[in-house]
A and B are shown apart, each in its own frame.
Chain A
C-alpha cells in the first residue's frame, strides 16, 4: 500500500467536502454563491487528485495498481479493497473532469436548496468513483446501490415537471436489476467457499475460481441484466429518456456522462471476465440488442421535438456501440468500447450543458421554439457545432476514434454487426445535423430569441474544457489508448484462457484472438 492511500483519498474527498458543507447555515438561500463556489472548489481539488493518480499510474502494467486492501468483515471474507487499472483510471478521471463542469453549469439554473444540491452532487461523485475503484464485489455493490440515493434526490428535487415519476422509475429500474446481481454475487462467493473453504468477494480471487458452466449462465444473466438496465441496452432503456429529460442539467450531465458508463464498465470488468464461457455464449445476443439499440435510438432521436430527449435517445444509440465493442471480445472492440465511453461522457455531457443553457434562457427545450441562433449567439453556436461533430464522429474529433475501433473490432468478429452498426453512424449524422440546422441556421423566426445573450464567462469556462477535450482526444488518442491497453489485454486473455481449445479460430485465422461467434457457435 502506498504511504498515502491515494484511492481512498479520492473516494473520500468529495463526500468529506459535502459533509463539511452541511452545518453551514443557509437561511433564505443567502449563501447561494458560497455553496456554489465551495462545491466547485472541492470538485476541482478532486480533479487535481485524479490527475495526480494519472501521473502516478504505471501505463505498462495491466493489473491493479495502488492496491489498498483492509480486512473489513472477516466473517464473510469481505475486504475494503481498491485498485486502479487502465480501464478504471480514465473513468475516474472522467468523473473528476465532468463533475466541476456540471457544478459550474448549474450556477445559472439551481437557485433552490443550493446547499443540499451541492451535497448530493459531491456525494454522488464519491459513490461513482467508488464504483470504479472497488475491487471487492461487496464494496462494488455497496457503492453501486449507494449511488442511487443522491441521483434520486437530484432528479426528484431539482428536476422538471415530471421529476417524481422519473426519479422513482430510475431508482426502481436500477434496483430491480441490481438485486438479482446481488444473488449472483452471493452464489459466486458461496462457490468460492465450497472450493477453497472461505468466503471471498475479492475480484481477483473470484477470477481465479473455476465456475461451472451452469452457474456461469445464471450469474452472467443476472449481472448482464443489472448492467444492461444501467447502460441502458435496448429494451431496458425506457427509464433513460424520462430520467434525462426530467433531471436538472447537472444531473443529466452526470447521468449521461458517468452513470451510464457504470453499466458498460460493469460488463467489461465483471460480467465478461468473471463468466467468460457464458459471456461467449451470450455475446451474439448482446450484440443483436446493441445493434438494435444503435438503429432504434437513432431513429427515435430523429423524431424528437425536445432537444433533451433527442440527446437522451442519442445516448441509447451511442451506448449501443459501446456494448457492441464489448461483445466483440477482442482488443480493438474493447479498446473502442472504453474509448467510446470517455468520448460519450465528454460530448454528451457538453450537449446536455448546451441544451441546459438554452433552457435556462428560454425555459423551453422544443426545437421548434428555436431557429437562427447563429446570428444571435455566435459563440454558443460555434461550441455547439464542434460538439455536434464530435458526437457524430467526425475524423479529427474524439467520437471518430472510438466508433472506428468498435466497428473494426465488430468487423473482425462478424461483419454483419459492423455493417448494421455503421448505418448508425450515418443516422447519427442525420439526426444531429438536422437538429443543429433547425436550431441554429436560418433566420430568427421566434421574436423571443432575438435578445438571447451569448455565452457568459462562466458558461464559457464550463464548455471550453469539453471542446478542448474533444479535439485532444481526437488527435492524440494514443495518450489514452496506450495506458488502457495492458488492462484490456489482460481481460481479453482472461476470456481466451477460459477455453483454450477455441483460441485458434476459424474465422480470424492467423490472429491470436478469439472470435465470440465461433464460441457461440460451438455451444
Chain B
C-alpha cells in the first residue's frame, strides 16, 4: 500500500474512477439499452464529497505536491456541488441532443478531477498538469455537438487560444523555476520573500506570464476573446458547467499562487490585476447590454462576474479575504442554474436562447419563470438573494482596502448588469407570447434540482453567517 501519501488525492481518485466507470459502462452498453450512467458519476462525486469532508482540517499532503488544506477542500466541495448539479440536470438534455451519455459524463468527471487537483495542488507543475487535464476535457465537451458549426468553431477557438495561453503559463513557470530553483509553491514563496527579488525583472516577467495564463482561464479582459464564442457554441449545459467550474478551479490556483506564494510581490501585481479587474467588469457588463441572445448575454455576464472575483483578489485583506470563496460558491450555483434553465427549455432543432423566445414564458411555465427570475436577480445582486451578500462582501473588502475606485465601478456595473438581467424578466413577465411553439417542460428531477438551488441561494442570502465563517476559516490556510 502506498498508504497515507494518497490521502490528499482521495477525492480526485474517486472522481477519476467514476469517470472511468462511465466510459466503460458506455463501452459495454448495447445500442438502445438504457443504463444509469449518471448514477455512476453521482456515486463517485458523493464519495469525493464525503472524503473531502473527512479530510477537513487534516491538511493531508501527498507526494509533496498536493496539500489538501481547507482552502483546496472548500473549492473541491464547490466543484463537487457543480458536478452533482450538472449531472442531475443533464439527462434530459443529452437524450434530446443525442449526445453519448458515457462520454459526456466521463469528460465532465475527468474535467472535475483535474479541477479538484488544481484546487489542492501545491506545485506549479501539478497546477499546469491539472490545468491541461481539465482543459482538454472541456475543449472536447465544447465541441461535443459535432454536427453544429457553432459548436465546432467555439471548440476550435477555445482550443487554439487555450493551447497558446498554456504555453504562456508554462513559460512563466520556467522563469520562476529558473530564478528560485523550485516549482514548489512553498519553496518559491520562501525564496521570493527571503531574497527580496521584486527588483528582478525576470521574476516580474514570469509573474506576468502566469497572469496571462490564469487570466485566460478566468476569462479576464483582454484575455476573454474566446469566451463568448465558446460559451455560445458549447451545448448549454456544458456552458453552465464551464462558466462555473473552470472559473472556480482557475481562481483557486490564482488565489493560491498570488495571495500566498507571490504575496511578497503584492505591490507589483496589484496594479496589473487592478486594471484587469476594472476592464473585465466594464467590458463584461457594457457588451452584455448589447446582446439579444440570452446565452451570449450570460457569457458576458460571466465575464463581468470574473471581474468582481478579481476585485476580491486585489482587495484581499484580513477582513475581506474570504469574499472570493463566498462569491465563487454563490456564483457557481446561480450561474450554473441559470444556464441549466436555458438548456432545459431548448429543443434539438430549436434552441431557446434568444430573448424573444422568453416572451410570455410566465403564462406557460410559471414555475420555470419564477426560478429563472430568482437566478437572474441573484446574479444582479438583489437582496434577499445570495448574490447580494456576495457582492456586499466583495465591495466591503474593496472599501476596506481603500480601493474605492474598484468598489464604485463595481456597484455601477452591477446596476448596468441589472438592466440586461431585467430584460429577460421583462420578456417573461411583461410581454405576451407570440407564435404557438410549445416549449418543453423540464423533468421533475430537474425542477427539483433547480428548486434546491433556489433554496441554497435564499439560504445564503438570508443566513450567510455559517458559510462566511467557513470561507474565512478555509482561506486562512493559505493567506
Contacts and interface: CB of A to CB of B under 8 A. Distances in A.
A180 B419 CA distance: 17
B382 A179 contact: no
A186 interface: yes
B272 interface: no
Interface in A145-187: 145-146, 148-149, 152-153, 156-157, 163-164, 167-168, 171-172, 175-176, 179-180, 182-183, 186-187
Contacts of B399: 183, 186-187, 190
B55 interface: no
A193 B411 CA distance: 22
A189 B388 CA distance: 17
A455 to B, nearest CB: 32
Interface string A339-356: 000000000000000000
Contacts of A72: 465
Contacts of A74: 465
Contact of A183 (B384, B407, B469): B407
A153 B426 CA distance: 9
B415 A157 contact: no
B389 to A, nearest CB: 8
A398 to B, nearest CB: 35
Given A186-B407, A187-B399, A179 B415 contact: yes
A2 interface: no
B127 interface: no
Contacts of A189: 396
Contacts of A138: 392
Interface in A164-221: 164, 167-168, 171-172, 175-176, 179-180, 182-183, 186-187, 189-190, 193, 199
A152 B422 contact: yes
A193 to B, nearest CB: 8
Nearest to A172: B419
B377 A149 contact: yes
Contacts of B377: 149
A73 interface: yes
Interface string B427-449: 00111000000000000000000
Contacts of B388: 142, 145
Contacts of A143: 383
Instruction: Label chain A's interface by main secondary structure.
Output: helix
B415 A199 contact: no
A148 B399 CA distance: 25
Nearest to B468: A75
A186 B408 contact: no
A171 B418 contact: yes
A76 B396 contact: yes
A145 B377 CA distance: 11
Given A145-B383, A149-B382, A183-B404, A156 B429 contact: yes
A454 B473 CA distance: 68
Contacts of A142: 383-384, 388
Interface residues of B, number: 31
A9 to B, nearest CB: 18
- Of B377, B396, B414, chain A has the most CB atoms within 10 Å of the CB of B396
A142 B469 CA distance: 21
A73 B319 CA distance: 13
Interface residues of A, number: 35
A161 B90 CA distance: 40
A153 B400 contact: no
A97 to B, nearest CB: 26
Contact of A73 (B382, B419, B430, B468): B468
Contacts of A152: 422
Interface in B376-431: 377, 382-384, 388, 392, 395-396, 399-400, 404, 407-408, 411-412, 414-415, 418-419, 422, 425-426, 429-431
A73 B472 CA distance: 13
Contacts of B422: 152, 168, 171
Nearest to B402: A190
A38 B225 CA distance: 54
Nearest to A184: B399
B430 A163 contact: yes
A164 B418 contact: no
A391 to B, nearest CB: 32
A156 B408 contact: no
Contacts of A172: 415, 418-419
Contacts of A180: 408, 411
A102 B472 CA distance: 46
B426 A164 contact: yes
B464 interface: yes
A163 B414 CA distance: 23
Given A156-B430, A168-B426, A186-B407, A175 B383 contact: no
A141 B381 CA distance: 12
B50 to A, nearest CB: 28
A21 to B, nearest CB: 14
Given A156-B429, A199-B319, A183 B395 contact: yes
Contact of B412 (A141, A171, A176, A190): A176
A190 B396 CA distance: 8
B46 to A, nearest CB: 31
Contacts of B412: 176, 179
Contact of B414 (A146, A179, A190): A179
B429 A75 contact: no
Interface in B347-401: 377, 382-384, 388, 392, 395-396, 399-400
Contact of B411 (A148, A153, A183): A183
A180 B412 CA distance: 8
A271 B287 CA distance: 35
Nearest to A165: B426
Given A172-B415, A179-B411, A186 B468 contact: no
A143 B462 CA distance: 12
Contacts of B464: 73
Nearest to A148: B382
Contacts of A182: 392, 395, 411
Contacts of A149: 377, 382
A333 to B, nearest CB: 32
A199 B397 CA distance: 12
Interface string B453-469: 00000000000110011
Nearest to B408: A183
A75 B393 CA distance: 11
Contacts of B414: 179
A124 to B, nearest CB: 14
Contacts of B430: 156-157, 163-164, 167
Nearest to B404: A183
B419 to A, nearest CB: 6
Nearest to A188: B399
B422 to A, nearest CB: 6
Nearest to A175: B415
A186 B392 CA distance: 9
A146 B408 contact: no
Interface in A7-52: none
B382 A75 contact: no
Contact of B418 (A73, A76, A175, A186): A175
B472 A190 contact: no
B384 A73 contact: no
Contacts of B472: 75
Contact of A153 (B382, B404, B429, B465): B429
Closest 9 CB pairs of A and B: A179-B411, A186-B399, A142-B383, A156-B430, A146-B383, A175-B415, A186-B396, A176-B415, A145-B383
23 contacts: A74-B465, A75-B319, A75-B468, A138-B392, A141-B383, A142-B383, A142-B388, A143-B383, A146-B382, A146-B383, A148-B382, A149-B377, A163-B430, A167-B426, A168-B426, A179-B415, A180-B411, A182-B411, A183-B408, A186-B395, A187-B399, A190-B399, A193-B319
Given A183-B404, A186-B400, 5 more contacts: A145-B383, A152-B422, A172-B419, A183-B407, A187-B404
Interface of B: 319, 377, 382-384, 388, 392, 395-396, 399-400, 404, 407-408, 411-412, 414-415, 418-419, 422, 425-426, 429-431, 464-465, 468-469, 472
